[in-house]
Structure 1
Amino acid sequence: MADKQGKKGRRTAKSGSKPGGRLARLWSASLKSGRLVALIMLVVFISLRLADPAPLQIVRKQTFDLYQRLKPREITARPVTIVDLDEKSLAEVGQWPWPRTLVADLIDRLFAMGAIVVGFDMVFAEPDRMTPDSLAEVLPGLDPEMRDKLRGLPGTDEVFARAIANGRVVMGQSVRNDAPPQAEDAPTTSVAWVGGVDPLPYLEPHGGLVRNIPLLDHQAMGRGVFNVSPELDGIIRRVPMVLNVEDQIHPSLSTEMLRVATGNTTILVKTPKKGQGVEGVYIKPKLIKTDEAGRVWVYFSRYDTAKYLPAVDVLNGTAPPEMVRNKLVIIGTSAVGLLDIKSSPVNSFLPGVEVHTNIIENVLSDTQLRRPGYMLGSEMTIALVLGLLLMIVVPLAPAVWTLGTFIVVAGGLVGTSWYLFAQHLLLFDPVMPFSSSLLIYGFLTYASFSREEAQRRQVREAFSRYMSPALVERLADDPGQLKLGGEMRDMTLLFCDVRGFTTISEQFDAEGLTRLINRFLTPMTNKILEHRGTIDKYMGDCIMAFWNAPLDDAEHARNGCNAAIEMKGLLVGLNQDLKAEAEAEGRRHIPLNIGIGINSGICCVGNMGSDQRFDYSVLGDNVNLASRLEGQSKTYGVTTVLGENTRALVPDYATLELDRIRVKGKTLPVTIFGLLGNPEVARSEEFQTLAAHHGEMIAAYRAQDWDTAGAALDKARAAAEPWHIDGLYALYAARLEDYRLNSPGADWDGVYVALTK
Structure 2
Amino acid sequence: LEWITYDWRVKEAAKYSPAAATNLGFVAITDASVDALLDGSLPYQFGLLWPRQVYGRLVDELSAQGAKAIGFDVLLAELRPDHLPAQLDGETTSSDEFFARALRRSSNVILASEGGLFPPDLFVTNAAAVAHISAHRERDGILRRTHVFLDIRVWHPMIKQAAQNAGWDLENVQKEPDKLIFPRRFDGGTNVMPLNADGKFDAGLLEHAMSEDRTRLLVQRFEFPFQDQRLWQLGIALAARELKLDLNRAVVDLEHGRIVFSNASGDERVIPVDRQGRFYIDWSIGLKDPRLRAGAIDDLLIQYELRRAGRTDEVTNLFQDKLVVVGSTASGNNLSDFGATALEQQTYLVSVHWNVANSLMMNRFIRPIDLRWRLLIIVVLGALAGICTWKLRVLTAVGSVAGIAAAYTALALFLFITARVWLPLVSPVLGSLFVTHVSLITYLVRVERRGRQRTKEVFSRVVSPDIVRELLEVEKLKLGGARRNVTMFFADIRGFTAVTDASQKRAELIVAEQKLTGISATERLDAEAESVLNTVNPYLGLIADTIKKHTGTLDKYIGDCVMAFWGAPVPNPRHAVCCVRAAIDAQRAIFEFNRERLAENERRQEENLRRLSSGENALPMLEILTLGSGINTGMVTVGMVGSEAHLMNYTIFGREVNLASRLEGASGRARILISENTYLEILRDDPELAATCRAQEPLVLKGFSDPIQAHEVPWRPPDVSPVDAGQSRTMVRGRNADDY
Query: Which TM bucket (shorter chain)?
Result: 0.3 to 0.5
Normalised by the size of structure 1, how large is the TM-score? 0.43
Normalised by the size of structure 2, how large is the TM-score? 0.43
Question: Is the helix fraction higher in 1 or 2?
Answer: 1
